[in-house]
């Protein structure tokens, strides 16, 4: 009887390991495949001879991408979004979270809290929002991708909860010494919230890097495209070229793969930090949110 149980356990373990391995491979193979195509001679790519290893190794695709003016400007635009954009996100999130965390000494805290949270459940829709963006003169400007969603209520709640977890005694001691509320914010709250700030910065930055829908609506000038929007253009044009409609100017499959891969690099570089902070962030959000 015991040997059967041991046998079953071993079988389960083997099965489990095999399954996990399979899932890991399924996850990573498409990326390796794309990477291989980006380094291969176009002839082999079209002939479907490229699987996981580049054939006819060449840097040509990457050279074409990096020389492309629109690509370079879209890269700059996205960098602008994740620096200035995230900066504004974080500053405004902190500035709002601090008062909202002072439940006792901030009259109207509840009202303001409801104002922010309500937007999580109901919004005007993309058409009315589009009109407001237009009427405030943000059409075709990168600011249209920063200002309207400057504060994410979900992140606001995370920051606010974090501030609330800092002991009141610290603030009280500072106030007795004559510190103003601004001073408290800068010398006590912010230094103690470094991990939350790091986590939220990552949340915001990744969202900026990956978003394309807002840009699709508001940005018409190709040189103002963020990276993902430019990438989308490449992907769609390649497909129509395959179908034969616009074959001359279309980027090659290799170039498409190279552009995709370059767009992934910053995320992959940031990934180790993301792992550390994101997972913590989810748990904080889940437990406290």
Site for other proteins in 156-195 (CB under 8 A): 180-182, 185
Q: Which is nearer to other proteins, 96 or 250 (CB)?
A: 96
Looking at residues 47 to 86 of the shown chain, list those that interact with other proteins (rule: CB under 8 A).
48, 51
Smallest gap from residue 279 Cβ to other proteins (A): 6
Which spans in the chain are helix H?
Answer: 2-38, 42-46, 60-67, 69-80, 86-101, 109-121, 126-135, 153-164, 168-176, 181-184, 190-192, 194-210, 213-218, 227-242, 253-288
Looking at residues 126 to 145 of the shown chain, list those that interact with other proteins (rule: CB under 8 A).
126-133, 136
Say how far apart CA 154 and CA 270 lie, in whole Å: 22
Smallest gap from residue 179 Cβ to other proteins (A): 11
Longest CA–CA span in the chain (Å) reads 77
Considering only 3, 67, 69, 125, the residue that binds other proteins (CB under 8 A) is 125
Smallest gap from residue 248 Cβ to other proteins (A): 18
Applying CB under 8 A, which part among 23-31, 53-61, 62-70, 162-170 lies near other proteins? 23-31
- 224 near 140, Cβ under 8 Å? yes
Binding mask 254-283 for other proteins (x = CB under 8 A): --xx--x--xx--xx--x--xx---x--xx
Considering only 3, 5, 169, 176, the residue that binds other proteins (CB under 8 A) is 5
Smallest gap from residue 72 Cβ to other proteins (A): 18
CB-CB neighbours of 284 under 10 Å: 17
Q: Is the dihedral of CA 122, 125, 126, 130 positive or negative?
A: negative
Binding mask 209-228 for other proteins (x = CB under 8 A): xxxxx--xx----------x
Helix axes 253-288, 227-242, angle to 10 degrees: 140
Smallest gap from residue 271 Cβ to other proteins (A): 7
Q: Which is nearer to other proteins, 132 or 247 (CB)?
A: 132
Binding mask 102-121 for other proteins (x = CB under 8 A): x--xxx----x--xxx-x-x
Say how far apart CA 61 and CA 39 lie, in whole Å: 7
Considering only 76, 79, 147, 170, the residue that binds other proteins (CB under 8 A) is 147
Asked if 23 interacts with other proteins (CB under 8 A), we say yes
64 conformational bin, left if phi > 0, alpha if psi -120 to 50, beta if neither: alpha
Count of residues engaged in binding other proteins, rule: CB under 8 A: 93
Nearest to 100 by CA among 89, 88, 116, 119: 116
Residues 6 or more apart in contact with residue 147 via CB below 8 angstroms: 88, 138
Smallest gap from residue 286 Cβ to other proteins (A): 6
Smallest gap from residue 16 Cβ to other proteins (A): 6
């Amino acid at each position: 009887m015991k040997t059967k149980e041991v046998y079953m356990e071993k079988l389960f373990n083997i099965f489990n390991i095999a399954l996990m391995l399979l899932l890991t491979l399924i996850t990573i193979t498409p990326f390796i495949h794309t990477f291989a195509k980006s380094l291969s001679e176009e002839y082999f790519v079209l002939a479907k001879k490229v699987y996981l290893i580049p054939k006819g190794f060449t840097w040509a695709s990457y050279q074409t991408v990096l020389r492309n003016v629109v690509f370079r400007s879209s890269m700059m635009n996205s960098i602008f979004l994740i620096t200035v954009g995230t900066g504004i996100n974080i500053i405004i999130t902190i500035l709002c979270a601090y008062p909202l965390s002072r439940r006792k000494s901030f009259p109207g805290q509840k009202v303001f809290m409801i104002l922010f949270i309500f937007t999580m459940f109901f919004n005007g829709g993309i058409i009315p929002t589009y009109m407001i963006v237009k009427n405030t003169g943000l059409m075709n400007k990168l600011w249209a991708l920063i200002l309207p969603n400057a504060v994410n209520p979900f992140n606001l709640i995370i920051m606010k909860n974090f501030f609330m977890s800092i002991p009141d005694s610290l603030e009280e001691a500072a106030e007795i010494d004559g510190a103003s509320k601004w001073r408290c914010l800068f010398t006590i709250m912010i230094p103690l919230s470094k991990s939350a700030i790091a986590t939220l910065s990552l949340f915001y930055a990744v969202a900026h890097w990956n978003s394309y829908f807002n840009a699709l609506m508001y940005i018409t000038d190709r040189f103002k495209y963020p990276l993902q929007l430019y990438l989308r253009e490449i992907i769609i044009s390649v497909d129509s070229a395959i179908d034969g409609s616009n074959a001359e100017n279309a980027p090659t499959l290799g170039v498409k793969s190279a552009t995709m891969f370059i767009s992934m690099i910053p995320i992959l570089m940031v990934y180790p930090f993301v792992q550390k902070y994101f997972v913590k962030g989810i748990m904080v959000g889940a437990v406290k949110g």
